[in-house]
Amino acid sequence: MAFRCSFDLEDDDQVLFEETSSVRKVVLNRPTKLNCLTYEMVTQMSRALEAYECDPAVECITLKGKGKAFCAGGDVKGVICTSGAGHWSFAGAFYRSELMLDYLIATYTKPVIALVDGIVMGGGAGLAMHAAFRVVTENTVFAMPEASIGLFADVGASKFLSKLPGSFGEYLALTGTRLDGGEMLACGLASHYVLSKDLPLLEKNLCEEAPLRKSTISDLLSRFAHKPNLKENSSFRRLEIINRCFSKPTVEEILSSLQENEVENDGEKKWIKDAIRSMRSASPTSLKITLKSMREGRAQTMEQCLTREYTISCHMLRRSMHRDFYEGSRAMLIDKDNKPQWDPPKLELVTDEMVDKFFVSLDGIDPYWVNLQLPIRSGQTMARAKL
């Protein structure tokens, strides 16, 4: 599969690092690309966070993005184009580094505050949702739309989505539905809701507080926090029907249940139609992988979830069993014809045996493709308590 790829030259300052008193600010600085993560950004942030963690003068970290996005995801186009050109090592190294950064944030021994004032999707959610404090605004838009490009909900989503009420996490992962800041607060993805205009003053006050303990930060955020009204058409208001449909054991049964509820509940037709449409346009294989990953994540640790997600992603990158990730990226991100040709094209053609192969250990497959090895960190217990 050949790709017609082009790359823009960019400045080296894709991440800005600022110091004010005991606060270190990490600012994603690719506003024209919605702050999509590159390999360079991931490695720069990892190095900085590791240094800050060891520095006794640093008490708190803030993460934010320039422009209208916090971070719209990883640089999938760059990964696909380099892989398609035969540079497999780059794709594997990028994804490994991204998950290691997510794990570092999830187990960080100092408070991390994600200021999510805009779009947060995919890899951006991997940064924000693992932070101790997840601050959203009226500008925030969250989604995990990976199945639409032949991928699956990763970057720890099988942990942070599976912890949401009922089957709401399955609903978000399988449909790619967007949430606003109020919905994120209501379902538990966000810890605080602050008006966008108040963020500069919040940051200023944060830098003036001393010492900056977790309890101090919590009190400060609470002083700025608002309780937004959940919009009338919010999908979170439909949790009863979502639980009824998305708790079914298979993707086929979930779709069937949605169709039945569409007929029986006239007032719910729009959001159900949207859910059915999203699932039918996504990769059938990705949907089944996503559901299995989510269900396993509910009973696993963060370490197990990230390790499993890395294994699945590597199998996808290798293209030995499945080419939908490349085809979906071509159709949606590169050629933009929005007409991916999924293989297999129907859910009923995707067997359990086919899905199970993506969960098989990488050991022994190839010298390069090995299981993710996460370091032992003193903050591991924190990762289990944040959501």
Per-residue pLDDT tens over the stretch 177-217: 999 999 999 999 999 999 999 999 999 999 999 889 999 99
Of all residues in the chain, what percent carry a pLDDT higher than 90? 82
Pairs from 262-268 (Cβ < 8 Å, separation ≥ 24): 265/241, 268/238, 268/241
pLDDT confidence of residue 10 = 60
pLDDT confidence of residue 384 = 45
Catalytic annotation, pick one of 65, 73, 122, 123 = 123
Per-residue pLDDT tens over the stretch 157-175: 999 999 999 999 999 999 9
* Contact criterion met (CB below 8 Å) for 69 and 35: yes
67 included as an active-site residue = no
* Contact criterion met (CB below 8 Å) for 297 and 144: no
Q: Which two tokens stand for residue 109?
A: 């021994």
pLDDT confidence of residue 368 = 78
pLDDT confidence of residue 226 = 96
356 included as an active-site residue = no
Alpha-carbon gap, residue 282 to 172, rounded angstroms: 13
18 included as an active-site residue = no
pLDDT confidence of residue 91 = 86
Alpha-carbon gap, residue 273 to 276, rounded angstroms: 5
Distances (CA, A) of 257 to 168, 275, 382: 15, 12, 37
pLDDT confidence of residue 72 = 97
Alpha-carbon gap, residue 179 to 235, rounded angstroms: 8
Alpha-carbon gap, residue 236 to 246, rounded angstroms: 13
* Residue ranges of the chain whose pLDDT lies below 50: 384-385
For residue 156, count other CB atoms closer than 10 A to its CB: 25
260 included as an active-site residue = no
Catalytic annotation, pick one of 59, 75, 102, 146 = 146
pLDDT confidence of residue 385 = 45
pLDDT confidence of residue 381 = 54
pLDDT confidence of residue 278 = 98
Catalytic annotation, pick one of 65, 73, 74, 328 = 74
